[in-house]
Amino acid sequence: MKDRGIRGGPGIPYVPDATPEASIDPLLTDYIRRELEKIQDYTRDSGDRLTAAELSVGRRNILINGGFDVWQRGTSFFATAGTSEYTADRWRADWSGASGSASRGRFLAGSHEPRKWCIKFDITTSSDYTTLLQAVENGVRYQGKTLTASCYARQAGNRTLYSKCWFYNTSKGESSDNSNLVNITELLGGSTDYKQISWQLEIPHFPSHWNLDDIVYLIFNLCDTYDDTSTDPWTFTVFDVQLEEGERATPFEILSIGETLALCQRYYTVITGETGLLPESASSTLTVRRLTMTFPTMMRVTPSCSVSGVTNGSITNLTQSPTSIRFYGSASAANQYLYCTHIVADAEI
């Protein structure tokens, strides 16, 4: 019988049936084996079968940086009452009347492997609301659906924390009704160790006067003191946060650091190190300097940009687009090298 193999297009070698293993990358084989084992372990532990949709190829996690791997802005942040600030990339803290901090935590070797990082809220006094949230683009796709959130977390202190989802319409400057509030504190049940929890959020439909072409974000509040106005201190530590379509949680989706960083850089990019501005031309004897730099990934919108660490002159103008930034500068002397050491491009929601 004639050998039936796999023949690709131009430049792709013919692979005979007799030795299919020769065409398979051992690293890919190992990856598939580990993923299957992870699914089998999950199915065995949960006593339930995952559907084909829940095992589909592609990103399941609606959130970015749910493993808290990327911290471009720093790793410690202190509450200023009545303000909001981004902490770990894509995660915003709304402080209201709180005083305290949010910081990156690290697990000890052998603890909760293979994850390494978490975020910790340490609130010394609080009133009104204190929230950790993430805004998701293209919120229109989620209206009327059931989303399932999951994480590992632990809490201390006499405060009740909630989770919810809601929409914000930037075109109209309006917010929608919240999804049903879920009591996170109750799910944790007073555990002093990290506990894996999951919960469902029924996402409301848009108000009737909203349009499908409005710019609408889905806002996911991971922990929210809501309308609890007490001043009792509390802490909340969490990692492996996932939000996905459907009525049950699947294993946390682990991406490489490079993948997660690239997703975060659509919203915020920090470039450090010496960035030199060039003369107008190779033969120029003037002090004018310029440089066009392409961002690592295309940003969500044209970012606001700042430059610091400027040496041997000044940056006189910046122009930017979602794909690049152009510097104009003036060196202190015609023969001097003008450079900066820190560039920030911010296109967050």
Measured between its terminal Cα atoms, the distance across the chain in Å is: 62
The yes-or-no verdict on residue 2 having pLDDT over 70 is no
For domain 267-346, the CATH class is mainly beta
pLDDT in tens, 229-238: 777 888 999 9
Q: Which pLDDT does position 118 carry in this prediction?
A: 94
The DSSP bridge partners found for residue 275 are 340
Q: Which pLDDT does position 12 carry in this prediction?
A: 43
Q: Which pLDDT does position 14 carry in this prediction?
A: 43
Average pLDDT over residues 13-17: 44
The yes-or-no verdict on residue 102 having pLDDT over 50 is yes
Q: Are 164 and 203 in contact (CB under 8 A)?
A: no
Report DSSP state, residue 260.
H
Report DSSP state, residue 66.
T
Tell the residue number behind the tokens 């379509």, with chain if given. 245
pLDDT in tens, 167-212: 999 999 999 877 788 999 999 998 888 899 999 999 988 888 998 8
Q: Which pLDDT does position 117 carry in this prediction?
A: 92
Higher pLDDT, 92 or 223: 92
Q: Are 46 and 242 in contact (CB under 8 A)?
A: no
3-state helix, strand, coil split of the chain in percent (to 5) is: 10, 40, 50
Q: In which region does residue 157 sit, left (phi positive, over 0), alpha (psi from -120 to 50) or beta (all else)? A: left
Q: Which pLDDT does position 78 carry in this prediction?
A: 92
Which residue intervals of the chain are DSSP H helices?
26-46, 184-188, 257-265
- Output 312-321 pairs: Cβ under 8 A, ≥24 positions apart: 312/336, 312/337, 312/338, 312/339, 313/287, 313/289, 313/338, 315/277, 315/340, 320/345
Specify the CATH number of the domain 76-264: 2.60.120
pLDDT in tens, 118-135: 999 998 886 667 889 999
Q: Where are the domains of the chain?
A: 76-264, 267-346
Q: pTM of the entire structure?
A: 0.82
Q: Which pLDDT does position 159 carry in this prediction?
A: 86
Q: Which pLDDT does position 219 carry in this prediction?
A: 95
- Of the listed ranges 11-25, 77-91, 276-290, the one predicted with least confidence: 11-25
What mean pLDDT value characterizes the chain? 83
Q: Which pLDDT does position 225 carry in this prediction?
A: 80
- DSSP per-residue codes, 2-46: ----B--STT---B-TT-GGGGS-HHHHHHHHHHHHHHHHHHHHH
